Amino acid sequence: MNKSICIHPWNSMAVRPYGVSVPCCKFRAEDIFANQSKIIEDPRNHESWVNIRRDMLAGIPIKSCNACYQEEASGADSMRSISVKSLDRPLPTSADCDKLNSLEIAFSNLCNLACVSCSRWLSSTWASEDYKHKRIDNKLHGKIVDYRSLVSHGSDIDQLDLSYLRKLKIIGGEPFMDQEKFINLMERLDLSRITLRVSTNGTVLPNARLKSLIDKCERVVIEVSMDGIGSVGEWYRWPTQFEEVKKVMNQFQDWWGNDSRFEFGTHTVINVFNIWNLDSIVHFMNANYPSWELYFDWMFNPSWQAICIIPEEFKLDIKSNLLKWNDTVLGKWGAHTNSPFLATVDRLYDKPNSNWETFKERTFNLAKERNLDVLKMVPELAKILKDT
């Protein structure tokens, strides 16, 4: 089997807040690709996209797709492999793109959180923090910039042919803070044929008008980011309050829990801050939201939060816990996925692109900026950071 080919470069597009499009959310675009992928017309006809499809047809590995290759090497399904397995027709044989079937889009970077792994390009709160701490100024090309709207591609997607669209994923920023843009896009579509997936931070609810449009979709998946329970989640997804997230999740359940068209899930990125008690996320969901599916991913970037940078002397205990959890901790794993614990063992031994000293420096600097006691909020780190 051709282990390079993926369906996303043919029929899908993921639009970032700053207007660059990529085949999927895991694709790491190099500069030349990004420069040819602005949303002015359908960028899938541009040379960089065509070259990706040609290389895939030839079985040539794509550097920007390395995240999927790593997951597959660990025995896990990836977005690439899932796209091939779920295809209901023969694999493509031409480098020409298909009609746009799947669209993932972030309207802007508008967001009320500044998660540890995020940046100003995806969070307006991060942009405000960067300005506050003098990492950037508020001028762009000589003009004063309001960082609440710094990153936005406007209405450029009006140029796209959406008549064949069947899958729509809305991300952010926080998508429920961009409700007018969300509504305008939904009103262009035949919602009775749309599978809608919304990736939300779990702190904002849709207004009545947007909710009425969501109600019309053929199928809906609501996915709440969940990177830790209690204070661990509050550290990582600052300045969220975990009890408020639970209230929003409960409201989703009250609105749509009895509607068979709706599915709910959480998405966890496994990183240095949550690896110590990863099982607690599964136990919490089993106890409080047993019908929700659990999706897991691994931190690659920022590299200083990837679990492979943990010192070797601590990895043996982590590995032991992961193997134990694999045998004893059962969750409602997401579609096409299995327990994440075995694959996480492999991620421990990836080649690191950062180091423990950088992790300590960045962590304590961030805690100081936010006036947070990270060792109290993530107590599993207290001993290990003291010892190292």
DSSP 36-71: T-BBTB-GGGSHHHHHHHHHHHTTPPPGGGHHHHHH
Please give the pLDDT value at position 127: 87
Mean pLDDT of 109-135: 91
Q: Inform me whether the pLDDT recorded for 55 exceeds 60.
A: yes
Say how far apart CA 284 and CA 287 lie, in whole Å: 5
Mean pLDDT taken over the chain: 90
pLDDT of residue 45: 86
**pLDDT at 137 exceeding the cut of 80:** no
Q: What percent of the chain lies above the pLDDT cut of 70?
A: 91
Alpha helices by DSSP H, 98-241? 124-132, 179-186, 208-214, 231-236
At 32-44, the pLDDT tens digits run 666 666 655 678 8
Q: ∠ CA(52), CA(54), CA(59), 5° rounding? A: 95
Over residues 94-104, mean pLDDT:
94
Looking at the predicted structure, is the pLDDT value of residue 388 above 60?
no
Predicted TM-score of the model (pTM)? 0.87
d(CA 66, CA 60): 12
At 9, which helix (H) or strand (E)? helix 8-11
In the structure encoding, which two tokens stand for residue 193, read together? 């044929």
Q: Tell me the mean pLDDT in the region 354-358.
A: 96
Chain centroid to CA 338: how far? 18
Beta strands in the chain (DSSP E): 12-15, 21-22, 102-106, 139-140, 143-144, 167-171, 195-200, 219-225, 262-270, 293-298
Q: What value, to the nearest 5°, has the Cα angle with vertex 123 and ends 31 and 252?
A: 120
pLDDT of 1 higher than 80: no
